[in-house]
Chain A
Amino acid sequence: MAKPRIAVHKFSSCDGCQLAFLNLGEALLQLNEQVEILHFLEAGMSDVSADVDIAFVEGSLSTPDELERIRQVRANSQYLITIGACATSGGLQALRNLDGHHDEWRDAIYAQPEFIHTLKNVVPIASEVKVDLELWGCPVNSVQILAAVRALLFGVAPVDDRDRVCLECKRQQTVCVMVTQGTPCMGPVTRTGCGALCPRFGRDCYGCYGPSETAQSETLARRFAGLSLVPDAIARRFLLINSQAPAFLQAGGVFYRSGAEDPRAGDQDD
């Protein structure tokens, strides 16, 4: 049997999710025995238009060129897997969607703003093309990537673990930071996958894996109010790394700034 062919593509991002491959150590060399890596610029493979079995996509869409490029990637790939918060929900940079102030921001930073070609809103990959599997996390880790590759190698559907961080804390017998210290923690509404890193370090989860299944965001927002967080502080908890994930956007939007404006992203382009 021919080795499955894979590609790793980067869009607007920090490069951190690609490190789930590059930090594999010797397992990176073993992975190469099981699959053929055709395109992965940072690792030195360049064949952007190669037909592949699996395309891994890091980053969000924020320019007209990126819209073009993702359509091409989709057309060339049997499976398309988004890796990380940027590709899956828009990521941290989608915070610029909230106020719709993109043009002002651009003009404030760049002396020649006419050279900047960006979309008005940062959007996740799935807003433009069909995505077969979403791997959440900021960043995703190597375990998630390898599990997805193995599942596809064996022809089975990858497991989509949508449990809450809270449950992971219980399994690990981690002391609850919200109950014991009154720290406003996003664990009750955030998807697991990190291993409950933050509560294990005695701090609040900040939601980097995005919403869990049946996230009770409004309930948690009320709980935060009970911990005497002001409305803006509540909004900041939900509107951070996965601000455009509907379960977070809705809860955060209620408390954002005056709350009068609808902070949800429009879809018009520059």
Chain B
Amino acid sequence: MTSRRIRIDVPALTRVEGEGSLRLEIKGNKLVELGLSIFEPPRYFEKFLEGREAREVVDIVARICGICPVAYQISALNALESLSTQAVSPWVQRMRRAFYCGEWLQSHALHIHLLALPDYLGFDNAIAMAERHPEEVKRGLKLQGMGNALIRLFGGRSVHPVGARLGGFHHAPSAETVADLVEKLKGAQEDARNLTHFCASLPLPDDPQSFICVALHHPDHYAMESGEIHTSTGLVLNAAQFEQHFHEHHKPDSTALWSDLDGHPYLTGPLARLNINHAQLPDFLQARLQEIGFQLPSSNMFHSLIARALEIELALHEAIRLLDEYAYPDAPYNSLFLEPGIGFGMSEAPRGLLWHRYALDDQGLIQAARIVPPTSQNQARIEEDLHRSLSRFGLNHDEDALRLRAEQVIRNYDPCISCATHFLRLEKHET
């Protein structure tokens, strides 16, 4: 056994957003090489934002990610609007949260059903899975559709929506349209509850490990579209303080800019959010935690699946709460004057913290931009997790079992490789 030497190449990871590959080499009982490589060429968004008008930023940054454009738009708006002495109206604040709920719903439902569940039910993909589990797959596609409908309500379309603007929205939906959608959202709540129970009933690996959690926290509600950074190490930071503790590195033996928190890998995303903010879950979800016997905080990364299901329930509940009291506004936006300077903003994208910084000149043009997407923040954590999870799983497993486990570990983070604008492909000596 000690002379065993295997090399596992997954040239193209499936069921992740964007393209990457994984390479493992095991000698005897040791993992001697582990490389998560990313194919995505850099697209240089931060550079071509320079010289663009502040009002154009929302339409440009949406294109960083087709799966989480709303998160990019809201983080950018939070950053730019911080340069104004005026605030957006309470109506805009509420509707932005409802808009954002649509993205959590859509992205989480897509992830659970099309990307993650086939691993647990033993299929290569969701379409094959649908032949044996038609009701579960249809339920998931319906929830995903609800999220898309919610984004369309404010954005016209669910991918690269066109409704968001500085100061609010271009357009307010009519009260009738909102009421129709609220009825549908209410009709999906039972599906969401069943989904949580279903996810909690899956035989998820029990694999506790210690990691630092980072998530936004808001005093009034479960943080989503705004808040301050809280870490499980006790730090509390506003958006302007982010760069004092979080640093990005370009490692020559790696394929991406990696972030660390004062030198340590950390987790951002649904499980980190639940771990930090679970006390703010509404009563019905506190009861759900009891029903399914889910202890928080959790140190099992495989619980990310359940965390997403719970956040689907939360997003539905929040959207219904916000839209039940919908009133057509006097104006869907107010014109803000932006002072020249540096604006910082962030929000909780479905897959984690998304931080933006813009320098605006006195002509109202962007001088410099910096964007730190969730996937580059999770990158160091993913590799750390792979190392220990595979060793703990047992390196003596056969190649297929090791590969499946490695892919499951990676999918727990719902990496969005397209999103990680800094990512690049590293040419490395291949076998």
Contact = CB atoms under 8 A, between A and B. Distances in A.
B424 A12 contact: no
A153 interface: no
Interface string B114-130: 11001000011111001
B418 A96 contact: no
A51 B382 CA distance: 35
B388 interface: no
B162 A198 contact: yes
Instruction: Please tell me the size bucket of the interface on A.
Output: 35 or more
Contacts of A25: 141-142, 144-145
A17 interface: yes
A93 B142 contact: no
A46 B39 CA distance: 15
A48 interface: yes
A28 B41 contact: no
Question: Of B51, B69, B127, which is in contact with the most chain A CB atoms at under 10 Å from its CB?
Answer: B127
B105 interface: no
A43 interface: yes
A117 B38 CA distance: 13
Contact of A23 (B16, B51, B158): B158
Contacts, number: 182
Instruction: Please tell me the size bucket of the interface on B.
Output: 35 or more
B110 A116 contact: no
A112 B250 contact: yes
B137 A29 contact: yes
Interface string A49-83: 00000000000001101100000000000000000
B162 A109 contact: no
Contact of A14 (B42, B47, B64): B64
Given A22-B114, A105-B47, A201-B162, A16 B12 contact: no
Given A42-B115, A138-B160, 19 more contacts: A19-B66, A25-B144, A28-B127, A29-B141, A41-B13, A41-B16, A43-B15, A92-B43, A92-B63, A96-B48, A101-B47, A109-B42, A109-B47, A139-B160, A197-B156, A200-B171, A201-B162, A202-B170, A236-B52
13 contacts: A15-B416, A29-B134, A42-B115, A44-B126, A95-B48, A109-B42, A110-B422, A112-B250, A138-B160, A194-B157, A198-B156, A201-B163, A206-B59
Interface of A: 10, 12-20, 22-23, 25-26, 28-29, 32, 37, 41-46, 48, 62-63, 65-66, 91-93, 95-96, 101-102, 105-106, 108-112, 115-118, 138-139, 141, 194, 197-198, 200-203, 206, 208, 232-233, 236, 240-241
